[in-house]
Amino acid sequence: MRRRSEPHTFEQRLDAQRLRLEHESSDLPDGHQRDSVAARIEQLQTAAEMYDFLMLREEAAAPL
């Protein structure tokens, strides 16, 4: 039977994807492909910031 790995948090998956794309970007020449990867990295950073913001709001709204 195959053993399942530990689940990763949303933040960990975003960070892993960002690191993978940064590595991929370093191998690409300047041009459209590199710009597309850079735009995707920006989207991941924005998603991480939005997630952090929403989690802070959720914690503040949670009753004690």
pLDDT at site 47: 95
Task: Please give the DSSP secondary-structure letter assigned to residue 59.
Answer: H
Tokens representing 23 are 């590595």
Considering the entire predicted model, what is its pTM?
A: 0.77
31 conformational bin, left if phi > 0, alpha if psi -120 to 50, beta if neither: left
pLDDT at site 64: 62
pLDDT at site 7: 73
Alpha helix positions (H), 1-64: 10-26, 32-61
From first to last of its 64 residues, the chain has per-residue pLDDT tens of 667 777 789 999 999 999 999 999 999 999 999 999 999 999 999 999 999 999 988 888 877 6
CB within 8 Å of 21: residues ≥ 6 apart: 37, 40, 41, 44
pLDDT at site 1: 67
